[in-house]
Amino acid sequence: MLEYSEQNRQWMQMALDLAEKGRGTTAPNPLVGALVVKNGQVIGKGYHERAGQPHAEVFALEEAGEEAYGADLYVTLEPCCHYGRTPPCTERILEAGILRVFVALTDPNPKVAGGGIAALRAAGVLVEVGLRGDQARRQNDVFLTNIGKQRPFVLWKNAATLDGRTAAKNGHSQWITGPEARAEVHRLRSQLDAIVVGSGTIIADDPLLTARPLAAGMTQPLRVLLDRQGRIASDAAVLQDASSPVLWFTEQEGMETSGLGRHVEVVHANPGTMQPLWVLAYLYAAGVTSILLEGGPTLVNAFWRDRLIDKIQWYVAPKLLGDDGRGALGALHCENMAEAAALFDVHCRPVGGDWVFGGYTPWNAGLITGNEGQ
């Protein structure tokens, strides 16, 4: 295996940075960036911008033009080798006369799964796999979850005080964090396919569940309401606002739905079946690849119990509410610290006057690190 130089690493980092430009617009496709390098100079770059449009390699090779002959290609995900909505990227790479390809991550899609690398090597192209692979896996955690678990990726977002309280005793929670943190959450909403909340959140806060302001080229998320007993009133703001579709899940028959616009679809589940995994399966079949879980402790506990939360993003404000404040989670029944769920790949950073902590849940270690079964 090639021992990568610092320059190799820098060029793959540039490709990863390019891939990041597609966040929020490529679903159900992965994030991919590509760089064409020749004689120590970048001569072409590209990223996958939107599903159905050319892949990153095509944009990079088009920019490089005839100079791509004999050059190196850095790509964050294995080039595809099958016909889908676009032709195989492997054919385009071979036509361009690329000499060597650096691949960060093998594509887990069964339609590729090493086939693109094999096709390039069979044609005489030198292929090196694994450069900055850990970063590539984390960048495409949504895609890896979709392929590996056949369900949407679930990110739980929470805002709490320094002592872990999400609301005052009377339920008042606006605002725990400052404007910078709240703006970041709105950007996060626009990057994921759907927002999921329970009826308690709608009744307590009457939120719109939209991304505000919405950046150019982005779309509003699908808004998903889990309301088993049909408690949400038909005049709730989220039901009256038509800026994006709403899926209203319930087990209650005969709910009042008069006056609702065409943007609202009521999904009736059989009594006792509206469990988190059933909801995720429904959403995945509808094309949802990622969700932002913004519910209260009852809903979050249900997802946590079934190990359906993949990552946590927790905003912490330097405020205290004390024991009479409301917590983010119900009982996890941990009798000692050895039973506590320890996140991994944890990071933290300041956001205005607050802090944000993020990390993957322990049951996702194998998927994110690529060491399943080890």
Catalytic-role residue among 6, 57, 91, 253: 57
pLDDT band for position 374 (cuts 50, 70, 90): very low
pLDDT (mean) for 240-250: 96
Distance (Å) of CA 237 to CA 10, 18, 221, 250: 48, 38, 16, 18
Residue given tokens 């991919």 in the structure block? 32
Q: What is the rounded distance in angstroms from the CA atom of residue 138 to the CA atom of residue 110?
A: 20
Helix axes 6-20, 56-64, angle to 10 degrees: 120
Q: Which is more confident, 206 or 113?
A: 206
Distance (Å) of CA 119 to CA 57, 73, 77, 193: 16, 15, 15, 33
Do residues 69 and 41 touch, judged by C-beta distance below 8 A? no
Q: Is the pLDDT of residue 172 over 70?
A: no
Q: What is the rounded distance in angstroms from the CA atom of residue 130 to the CA atom of residue 31?
A: 16
pLDDT (mean) for 117-144: 94
Cβ neighbours around 240 below 10 Å, total: 15
Q: What is the rounded distance in angstroms from the CA atom of residue 255 to the CA atom of residue 258?
A: 9
What does the pLDDT look like over 78-112, one tens digit per residue?
998 877 677 788 999 999 999 999 999 999 988 88
Q: Is 335 a catalytic residue?
A: no
Distance (Å) of CA 201 to CA 123, 151, 207: 57, 24, 8
Q: Kindly report the backbone phi and psi dihedral angles of residue 351, in degrees, each rounded to the nearest multiple of 5, phi listed first.
A: -135, 100
Q: What is the pLDDT of residue 153?
A: 97
Q: Is the pLDDT of residue 1 over 70?
A: no
Q: What is the pLDDT of residue 2?
A: 65
Q: Which percentage of the chain shows pLDDT scores above 90?
A: 72
**Which helix or strand (DSSP H or E) is residue 223 part of?**
strand 222-226
Which pTM was predicted?
0.92
Q: What is the rounded distance in angstroms from the CA atom of residue 299 to the CA atom of residue 291?
A: 14
Q: What is the pLDDT of residue 370?
A: 74
Of 95, 47, 99, the closest CA to residue 73 belongs to 99
Q: What is the radius of gyration, based on Cα positions, of the chain?
A: 23
Do residues 105 and 136 touch, judged by C-beta distance below 8 A? yes
pLDDT band for position 216 (cuts 50, 70, 90): confident
**SS3 labels along 143-203:** HHHHHHHCCCEEEEEEEEECCCEEECCCCCCCCCCCHHHHHHHHHHHHHCCEEEEEHHHHH
Of 231, 217, 369, 216, the closest CA to residue 296 belongs to 231
